[in-house]
Structure 1
Amino acid sequence: MGAMAPSPPHSHRGRLRGFLGSLLGMLVVAYFGYHAVQGDRGVLALARLNKEIEHARSILDERKAEEAILQARVTRLSPESLDRDLLDERARSMLNRVRPDELIIRLDDK
C-alpha cells in the first residue's frame, strides 16, 4: 500500500469554516432562544405580567364593589331620596350625641 498523501491545506480550512459557521449558528440560536424565554419580553416575563394583571383585576373588582356600597349610601343621603334613619345615625355619630332614653353599647374595633 502506498503512503497517504497529505491533504491539501484548503480542505482543513473548509472544514474549519464549516464547523465555525455551524458553531456560530448554534450560538445565535441559543442566544435568541434564551432571551425568548428569560428576557425582559420573554415567555416568563409574559407569565409574570399576566399574573400581575389578574391580581390587579381582582383588586379592581373589590374596589368597584366597595364603590357600589358607598354610592348606595350616598344615594340614600341625597335630598331626592333621603333615608331619615341613616341621616340620624350619621349625625349622631359625627356629633357624638345621644338622647337621654337611649342605651349605648360600645363594641371594640378589633
Structure 2
Amino acid sequence: MLRQPIYDRRAKSRQALVLLLCLGLTAYFAYHTLKGRHGLEARDRLAERESALQFEIQSLEAVRAKLERDVALLRPDLPDPDFVEEIAREVLGFAHPRDRVVLESAPSG
C-alpha cells in the first residue's frame, strides 16, 4: 500500500484555505455592494431623496415666480393700483370708504 506524500496533503489544505479566503472575500464584497455605505440600497435612497427634492425645487420656483411678479407690480415709479388695493385689503385689513362692513357679534351663550 502506497502512502500519499506529505506535500500533497499540504497542497490540499492550502487549496482549501485559499478557497475559504476567496469565499469570505466574495461574501464581504457582496454584502457591502448591497448594504454598504455606497451600496445599492444607499443609491436607491439617494434617488428617492433626489425626486423629493426636485419636487420641492419646482414648488419653490413657482413661489419665487409669483413673488417676482408681485414685486414687479409694486415698482416704485408706477405701482399697479389694483394690486396695491388687493394688498391693502388682504394683508392690512383696510376697506374702501364706499364698502359696507358688516360686523357680527359673537353669539352669547
TM-score by length of 1: 0.79
Shift of residue 10, structure 1, vs aligned partner: 2.1
Could you list the runs of 5+ residues in structure 2 that have no partner in the other structure?
Answer: 104-109
Cα RMSD after superposing both structures: 2.2
Shift of residue 53, structure 1, vs aligned partner: 1.1
**Distance across 2 between alignment mates of 1:45 and 1:91:** 51
**Distance across 1 between alignment mates of 2:65 and 2:43:** 33
Counterpart contact for 1:75–1:81, Cα < 8 Å: no
- Identity across matched positions, percent: 29
Q: Deviations over 1:61-89 (max 9, x none)?
A: 10000110111111111124521011122
1:16 is matched with: 13
TM-score by length of 2: 0.80
Is the helix fraction higher in 1 or 2?
1
Matched, 1:25 2:22: yes
Shift of residue 40, structure 1, vs aligned partner: 0.3
Could you list the runs of 5+ residues in structure 1 that have no partner in the other structure?
Answer: none
Matched, 1:96 2:93: yes
Q: Deviations over 1:37-57 (max 9, x none)?
A: 210001111111111111111
2:107 is matched with: none
**Runs of 4+ residues deviating >4 angstroms:** none
Structural mapping, 1:46-57, within 5 Å: 46-57=43-54
Residues paired across the two proteins, number: 103
